[in-house]
Structure 1
């Protein structure tokens, strides 16, 4: 993770802390704005994502249409401040939920453009397109860090393609966040809230293999009483 971060272009490096330190999905990380960061309260408000609809971008509620709050570790807060010192947040205006031209007054009201001061934008100071980021930023960084093979001519038509690397996508940072929280002893219920899962049972099923050895802490507590 840190080796990949080291070879990313500087403007994108903080996305590693956002994914691995806050557990955000990729679209949520792209949609994170400075007004969502509660530095004093040590909390981040996850209120939106950057969503792609028919190749066009728009803002939308997070997956499941659920907003949530996530604890802000001091190390991540420091990285966010350092990033903003180098790259000032950029006001970005896009439609809400659907970029298609509205057909009714209700749709026009719902889809009206909204502006947020995004923490991370592309070189053109626009919201990040996930297809561009994954193909031209993330995968080259994975290759340079030695995580996946370099780009090679491997398609039947001779075009250059990346090897499949789903397990190394940006979502892997979210898995890292979940595993670290469980290893540290945080409850599945709390983790489900931070990840935006509506059912803690889903979180448990997905990440049960990251739980510390069953019974270890309970046994230690009993030993402390009877030792």
Structure 2
């Protein structure tokens, strides 16, 4: 049986719920994906996109996309889920869609030399007590590589070791970008800045294109940068002239 991860969308009915509160969103996600023993772990096996309004303009209808990054059963039954808590409010679950993708398909899909990343919610990076909003390919891909390795089942042949990672980020450049800085609730009583828009990455060595390809294909699942469990860094990816994902 193939190892796989999962992306799913919940349609929620929740009157009067603000959708920009990152801490409430994080709390909702933790209630779905974590048990008491999991909450203190630094490794979070999930990512969420920001809540958004239903495209039909109905204020009480919200859309939540979540990504489960483990080759294991979900810690809840989405088809049996009737309500979720968003802060102090109870939201009814009125719809559910799921997409499952194997690690094999991400790792062994078409090899690409370029990728356009679209950042739908603010991206920033946090390391050594400092924040950065620079679209540095090493930071972008480094987050993908860390979460990719964390998500892999034990003994996977797709592990990206230090030597391969070093060769990959050294051969990758930021080809072009169309980004702007925005502020968003950070979930701890203050706003956090990050960039949204598009960035085009290009890999200059054929020897690491396979690794580059699997990392950018993983982006729409793991998200980009810090606080992806709070709705930051929601990402989609397209591949100019070759393959879209």
Task: Confirm or deny a common fold (TM above 0.5).
Answer: no
The bucket for the TM-score relative to the shorter chain is under 0.3
TM-score (normalised: structure 1)? 0.24
Q: Determine which structure has more spread, i.e. the larger CA radius of gyration.
A: 1
TM-score (normalised: structure 2)? 0.23
Higher strand share: 2
Relative contact order (alpha carbons < 8 A, sep ≥ 6): 1 or 2 greater? 2
Higher helix share: 1
